[in-house]
Amino acid sequence: MNQQAEQVELIAEKRTVLGKQVKQLRRQGWVPGVMYGRGFDPVPLQFEERGLRQVLSQTGGSQLIGIKVRGQKQPETALVRDVQRDPIKGKLLHVDFYRVMMTERLTAEVPLVIVGESPVLEQKEGILLYGISAVEVECLPGDLVDAIEVDLADLTEVDQALYLRDLAVPAGMEILTSLDEMIVHVIPLVEEEEEEEVLPEAEEVEVITEAQAAEAAGGED
């Protein structure tokens, strides 16, 4: 289980440019966004693209971020909810943040991280088949973790699998994803055997020449 790292802070400014005019903001190096939450009026924001890109590369959907809006004394605690990028250039187009209350439970997606070594894999008796890579959880913001570890050392036999129900989760955290979902499965390593291609026996075909055909035809008259 990976505990939350030190909270990352991101500088933001309130945004007055709305609608199609945000294209001009992007040309000036800003990324439009919004912060919303339960009992909290949505606030249009804008972020410097370089700073936003750096923060997004360091965090995931389960890590709390401190949004420092210029003009406000205290930062707002939030989670990344949605990031829109240009499908071709990968340029940031828009970002959504969900403002959290530390006393209210929330839902978030937490990644699964593979750790450890399986003796079955080390001895090359099997190969690893992967299932889900993240889970949806519900908990208080303070109980969120960056990732949940999956230890391959628990896989000691071929055809053994680990499911969500096998994971140990922190107190106060509830997994919403089905506990029957598979995470990893060791399947037998089948050696490919070279099979000799068996060709069908050639059938004997009687070849009849033109002369023989003519003679046979003459004999019929």
> How many Cβ atoms are within 10 Å of 187's Cβ, its own excluded?
13
Phi, psi of 78 (to 5 degrees): -145, 165
Amino acid at 134: A
Alpha-carbon distances, residue 41 vs 37, 38, 97 (angstroms)? 7, 8, 12
pLDDT, one tens digit for every residue, the chain (221 residues): 555 656 789 999 999 988 888 888 999 999 999 999 988 899 999 999 999 999 999 887 889 999 999 989 899 999 999 999 999 988 999 999 999 999 999 999 999 999 999 998 888 888 999 999 999 999 999 999 989 999 999 999 999 999 999 998 888 999 999 999 999 999 988 755 444 555 555 555 555 555 555 555 555 54
pLDDT attached to residue 213: 52
Q: Is residue 220 part of a domain?
A: no
Instruction: Say yes or no: 94 and 113 in one domain.
Output: no
Say whether both 115 and 67 belong to one domain.
Answer: no
**Cα 11–Cα 1–Cα 150 angle in degrees, nearest 5:** 120
The reply to whether 133 and 51 lie within a common domain is no
pLDDT at 194: 47
Tell me, yes or no, whether 129 lies in a domain. Answer: yes
Give domain status of residue 198, yes or no: no
Bridge-based pairing of strands 92-99 and 30-37 is parallel
* Domain identity same for 38 and 62: yes
- Strands ordered across the beta sheet of 126-130: 126-130, 182-188, 161-163
Q: Which pLDDT score is estimated for 203?
A: 54
Q: Are residues 87 and 15 in the same domain?
A: yes
The Cα 158–Cα 188 span in angstroms is 6
Look up the CATH number of the domain holding residue 176: 2.170.120.20
What is the reported pLDDT for 131?
96
* Domain end position, chosen among 38, 72, 99: 99
According to the model, what pLDDT value does residue 218 have?
Answer: 57
Q: How many structural domains comprise the chain?
A: 2
Residue pointed to by tokens 């700073």: 51
pLDDT at residue number 209: 54
- Identify whether 53 is part of a domain: yes
Q: Write the secondary structure of 131-144 as one string of H (helix), E (strand) and C (coil).
A: CCCEEEEEECHHHC
93/124 same-domain check:
no
The domain of 134 spans 106-188
Residue 148 lies in a domain: yes
Please indicate, yes or no, whether residues 110 and 80 belong to a single structural domain of this protein: no
* 81 touches 97 (CB < 8 A): yes
Query: pTM for this structure?
Result: 0.74
Domain membership flag for residue 196 = no
Same domain, 53 and 112: no
Rg (CA), the chain: 32
Assigned domain for 218 exists: no
- Residue 9 maps to which CATH number? 2.40.240.10
Residue 77, domain member (yes or no): yes
117: tokens are 């070594």
Q: Report how far residue 143's alpha carbon sits from residue 170's, in angstroms, rounded to the nearest whole number.
A: 8
